[in-house]
Amino acid sequence: MSDPSVPRLAQLRFLEAVQERDLARTRRWIGDEERRLAERRRAHAVRPPEPDWLLEQGLSGRTPPVYVHAGGCWNAGKRSAGISRDEARRALAEGVPACSHCRPDTELRVEG
C-alpha cells in the first residue's frame, strides 16, 4: 500500500473492498455455525428417550444375547437394543448374564 503512483484514496478503497469481502465471509461462517447449532438442538429435542433396559446381542444373529444392561450403561455395546422391564427380567431368568457394571439384576430384583 505504499506505492506512490497509486493515490492513497484508491488504496483505501481497495482495502475497504477486501475487508468487506472478509466480513461477508465471516458472517457466512457465523450463519453456518448458528444453523449447525440449531440443528443439533432440534435433533437433541426430538431424540427418543433412552430405554430403561438394554439387551446386548452377540456378534451374529445366530448367537445368544451377551448381556442385559440398565439403560444408559456406559459398558453397553453397539449391538444393544432397548427392551421392556418384563423382557429384561425374562432374559435374566433365562440365563443371559447381567452386566457387572450396571447390575440390572439388582435393580430388577432377579437373582442369577
**Assessment of whether the complete model's pTM goes beyond 0.85:** no
**C-alpha separations of 80 from 46, 53, 64, 74, 98 in Å:** 21, 10, 13, 12, 13
pLDDT, tens digit (0-9, with 9 covering 90-100), for 54-94: 999 988 778 889 999 999 899 998 899 999 999 999 999 99
CB 13: neighbour CB atoms within 10 A?
11
- Give the residue among 29, 74, 27 at the shortest CA–CA distance from 54: 74
